[in-house]
A and B are shown apart, each in its own frame.
Chain A
Amino acid sequence: MKRILTAGLLIAAVLIAGCGQKTTVTRVDTGSTIDLSGHWNDTDSRLLAEAIVVDCTAARWIGDHMRDAGEPPVVIVGAIRNKTQEHIATDIFIKDLERAFVAGGMVDVVAGIEERDQLRDERIDQKVHASPETVKEFGRELGADFMLIGVINEQNDEQGGKRVIFYQADLELVNVQTNQKVWIGGNKIKKLREQSRY
């Protein structure tokens, strides 16, 4: 009987242990790398963006543009298509690219389509409400010389508890005037996710 009681109590303990999960929240450095599921995360976005911008700004097209125009190129980051099987917030990736361009200081970056609309609305508003000496004029925007567009792809392989996750970002810098592709590049990330059966 003692054994049965012990077994009963053990089962109850296991069940109760399963029911009483504790949640904790800790603040961490936003630059730290935390991989939980193996899926696309903020670190992947930042690392890829930084590597791509370094590669892009080291290419010949900047020198060519400086020689022809005599000033730094103006770049706009266009659409980045998500062709993966995950719901990636491409907005974050676009911001990481813009941030890396601005931090590199080799090019000027102008606002994208949605931001432009906001800024134009603000100028309309200023016409009515701002003091005349501070009103910003229309027709003084900086036009982009080049647009960065691209796609993020994913290729996975999986068996049992192992999963290889491979992301590839392919980007192209296109001359807005001539449609000429002046730079094609990208970067890759490969991860191995292992999960034990027991």
Chain B
Amino acid sequence: MRRFISFLPLLWLALWLAGCSPHGARDARMREALLAEDPASALAVFDDEECASVDCLLSRGHVAMLAGDYRQAQLDLAVAEWLIQDLWTLNLGKEAASLAVNDQLRDYGGERFERVWVNFVRAVGYLEAGEPWEAAVEGRALTHKLTVLSDEGDDESEYLNDPFLQYFAGLLAEADGEVNRAWINYRAAERLYAAENIYGAVAPVSLGEDLIRAARKLSFHEELESLEERYGEAAEPAPGEGELVILVSEGLIPEKYTQRIDFPIFEDEDGDTDAWNLAAHSYSHWHSPDLDVAYWLSIALPAVAEGTPAPEIRWSAEGGGGSMDLVADLGHLSRRNLEDRYGTVVIRTVARALVKYWAAEKAEEKKGELAGILVNLLGAATEWADTRGWASLPERIYMRRVPVEAGRHRVQVGHVGAEVEVAPGEISFLHLRLY
């Protein structure tokens, strides 16, 4: 009994940790409501929670935007951005604890792509709220963040930049009258779209045309010649026409899940438990009645679920319509981001497995077999992969830039439609959400 009592703090810790990860259930309920096209109910999911982590703030802010509460949305997303910046400083206590328990004890600072996509979402929120000058601020913030990110390494071999976000920042700059800034963004987008294996989408037709128009406005004659050779002619909008950029966020980003590897390590005939040698043979001895389980090894690694096939999306308005270009695949970006840091995740997981194995061995050595078993079970029970993430993001972004007559237009994409005002000689944006 006394031995059991001595384990109570550890059992309490395990139970406490078990209740420490509410994001899975929360995200599932939120996503269910979003798929039912009910953002108000999705927002209500956060009512009972003190939303103080980056993943929670990102999702709540995004869902608030979908529900039309732009003030709350911008507040949450701004706080999430500040928190991400603060979390650049590592909490050594939490880092150490995560090496003994699991990676969810570390503060979640967002995946690389989430840290930059927050500015896309904020910009869309400002556009929807009728504040394009604030959206332009987000465009400049995006450009800066992408510049800093790309300084970390080769942006054509891992996710250290983003072609669509460069393109989008360029569109915002052009709409704000900053053609030279837009040109720089468009050039970066063109270069990055070529690295399709990293970024998961190809350049839309409109990018070449936008480059040509920007080169023409800036009188970059040499570049203009070369661009026209590659992309052909690009017409300017006729007098009395404006331009409309239609953006469609489609689907929900594939969830992260835990890939669990559980296997017993058996004690051999001599009573030795050379864990790593025995692990290799463990499956073949699974049913052997002669061997005792010496240690239950449990490893949990994160993975991103398979996405859905990309649908063809078409837009229509009075007197026009056509197909839209797939410009960003966030499911691909999520998998790519995980792949980029997978080596570190595996090293941490293996190191943690060794720590837990050592703890169980020591417990058994000092306090007997039962102690070893309990520590082993505690270690296995607390071994979870870090599956936190921004769960409200769409799976894909589609886009089309078209010249239209100035005035009010009703645009329909699938069963979703909205009205937009287009001024002559100006660029207007319309964002629609499809689930």
Contacts and interface: CB of A to CB of B under 8 A. Distances in A.
B13 A18 contact: no
A118 B360 CA distance: 76
B148 A197 contact: no
Contact of A87 (B105, B134, B148, B178): B134
A82 B88 CA distance: 28
Interface string A1-35: 10111011101101101100000000000000000
Interface in B133-157: 133-134, 137, 140-141, 143-144, 148, 151
Contact of A8 (B9, B88, B144, B151): B9
Given A195-B89, A198-B89, A12 B140 contact: no
A156 interface: yes
A1 B6 contact: yes
Contacts of A14: 93-94, 96-97
Nearest to B91: A18
A129 to B, nearest CB: 35
A159 B375 CA distance: 43
A73 B39 CA distance: 55
Contact of A1 (B91, B151, B371): B371
A77 B150 CA distance: 40
B90 interface: yes
Most chain A beta carbons < 10 A, residue from B6, B20, B93, B143 = B93
A197 B88 contact: yes
Contact of A4 (B10, B92, B97): B10
A161 interface: yes
Interface in A61-113: 82-87
Contact of B89 (A4, A17, A84, A197): A197
A4 B375 contact: yes
A5 B6 contact: yes
Given A159-B148, A161-B89, 18 more contacts: A1-B366, A4-B10, A5-B6, A5-B9, A9-B9, A11-B101, A12-B12, A15-B16, A17-B93, A37-B82, A37-B85, A82-B137, A84-B137, A85-B141, A158-B144, A195-B85, A197-B89, A198-B89
Interface of A: 1, 3-5, 7-9, 11-12, 14-15, 17-18, 37, 82-87, 154, 156, 158-159, 161, 195-198
5 contacts: A5-B6, A37-B85, A158-B148, A197-B88, A198-B90
